[in-house]
Amino acid sequence: MPLHPTHPTLADGYSPPALIRAYRGERPATTPVWFMRQAGRSLPEYRALRVGTDMLDSCLNPELASEITLQPVRRHGVDAGIFFSDIVIPVRLAGVDVRIVAGRGPVLENPVRSAADVRGLPPLDPAALSPIREAVAATVAQLGPTPLIGFAGAPYTLASYLVEGGPSKEQLKTRALMHSDPETWAALLIWCADITGAFLTAQIEAGASAGQLFDSWAGSLSLADYTAHVAPFSARALEPVRELGVPLVHFGVGTGELLGAMRDIEVDALGVDWRLPLDEAVRRVGPDVTLQGNIDPALLQAPWPVLEAHILDVLARGRAARAHVVNLGHGVPPDTDPGVLTRIVEFVHSRD
């Protein structure tokens, strides 16, 4: 399938960046590296920029969202930008009353728990996505050859926020609905898949070179529940995006037991959290997928020699995969010293 017109193509004599080649299964001369949540709270320039602006408002301000996306690329020399946004942005753009409460996360005024609640969820007007398209286009224009990765939350994680009304440890109400009323569950997950798929599609169409689906809460599920009640909707979210021909990445926290089912959704790369060594991940998912990860975020606080030994171990185990994109095993913790991230990029780039 052809790339979107904004993407350079091989026919232009263009060689794709290392990140894209790695996602496609090649091993570029230098191992690509970027960090989940590299855009945001760990950077003083981000905190300065955000003063006085609400989180979701900053995501919907194209100039701000673009600048925040670019900050870590400038500072760290990472191999990709990750579009600065929030998992609930498409929910907000559809017109649902959701806001981010500092220190807590996304909170909904009216949780979605019944068949009537689900029927009442408004459709997402494609026009509402224009601030997203605008921010992505501005970012891509400034990134030059560095690729931008599009960002979206997976349907299960979105549904969890909608049902619980806020963040929760084990998504009890969400998982109760899944089993108590499978029809309402399916209708809810279809709504989530369609808005988050449209959100990611808009980013790719505006120039992002890859897309990552984040399933933050999938780790609370048994393999059986994930396979039956979640994976089909993650696949649905990715369907329209796949047609655009860019590589797709799928990541969840605590999903070591689900990796095989996540691979079956047919993505180009799987993110692995810090719990599972990459060589063991390869044994679980087979050779036909690139792995992304999985430096333990806890070790960002350790003395450099300890962290360096860990990175070397991650790189060594990553050789078992067809290709490896270095990342953390979860997002950058807010109190991370940004200098450590820059040093990791330099170190990984110097190894090959």
Binding-site annotation: residue ranges for substrate:
37-41, 86, 161, 216, 330
Give yes or no for residue 172 binding its own copies (CB under 8 A): yes
From residue 104, alpha-carbon distances to 85, 220, 293, 340, 342 in Å are 17, 19, 26, 26, 28
What per-residue string of b and e applies to 262-291 under the rule 16 or more CB within 10 Å gives b? bbebebbbbbbbbebbbeebbebbeeebbb
Q: Least distance to its own copies from the beta carbon of 190, Å?
A: 21
Query: Considering 50, 74, 99, 284, which one is annotated as catalytic?
Result: 50
Show the tokens assigned to 188: 């809810």
- What whole-number distance in Å separates Cα of residue 204 and Cα of residue 244? 7
- Under 8 Å between Cβ of 211 and 203: yes
Single out the segment in contact with its own copies by CB under 8 A; choices: 3-11, 14-22, 125-133, 176-184.
176-184
Query: Considering 23, 46, 156, 161, which one is annotated as catalytic?
Result: 161
Query: Considering 21, 37, 175, 263, which one is annotated as catalytic?
Result: 37
Give yes or no for residue 40 binding its own copies (CB under 8 A): no
- Under 8 Å between Cβ of 158 and 215: no
Site string for its own copies, 325-344 (x = CB under 8 A): -----x--x-----------
Q: 3-state secondary structure string, 100-132?
A: EECCCEEEECCCCCCHHHHHCCCCCCHHHHHHH
- What whole-number distance in Å separates Cα of residue 5 and Cα of residue 9? 9
Count other C-beta atoms under 10 Å from residue 183's C-beta: 9
Strands 290-295 and 324-328: parallel
Show the tokens assigned to 24: 């496609």
Cβ proximity to its own copies, 193 vs 221, nearer residue: 221
Give yes or no for residue 9 binding its own copies (CB under 8 A): no
86 catalytically annotated: yes
Single out the segment in contact with its own copies by CB under 8 A; choices: 9-17, 82-90, 195-203, 300-308.
300-308
Phi, psi of 39 (to 5 degrees): -90, 115
One of 166, 219, 232, 240 touching its own copies (CB under 8 A): 219
Site string for its own copies, 249-288 (x = CB under 8 A): -----x-xx----------------xxxx-----------
Give yes or no for residue 310 binding its own copies (CB under 8 A): yes
Query: Considering 23, 79, 86, 113, which one is annotated as catalytic?
Result: 86
161 catalytically annotated: yes
Single out the segment in contact with its own copies by CB under 8 A; choices: 16-24, 195-203, 218-226, 282-290.
218-226
- Under 8 Å between Cβ of 154 and 218: yes
- Under 8 Å between Cβ of 199 and 129: yes
One of 3, 137, 190, 298 touching its own copies (CB under 8 A): 298
One of 135, 202, 221, 326 touching its own copies (CB under 8 A): 221
Single out the segment in contact with its own copies by CB under 8 A; choices: 22-30, 84-92, 193-201, 220-228.
220-228
H-helix or E-strand spanning residue 325? strand 324-328
- Per CB under 8 A, residues contacting its own copies are 170-176, 179-180, 219-224, 254, 256-257, 274-277, 296-303, 306, 310, 330, 333
Give me the active site residues, please: 37, 41, 50, 86, 161
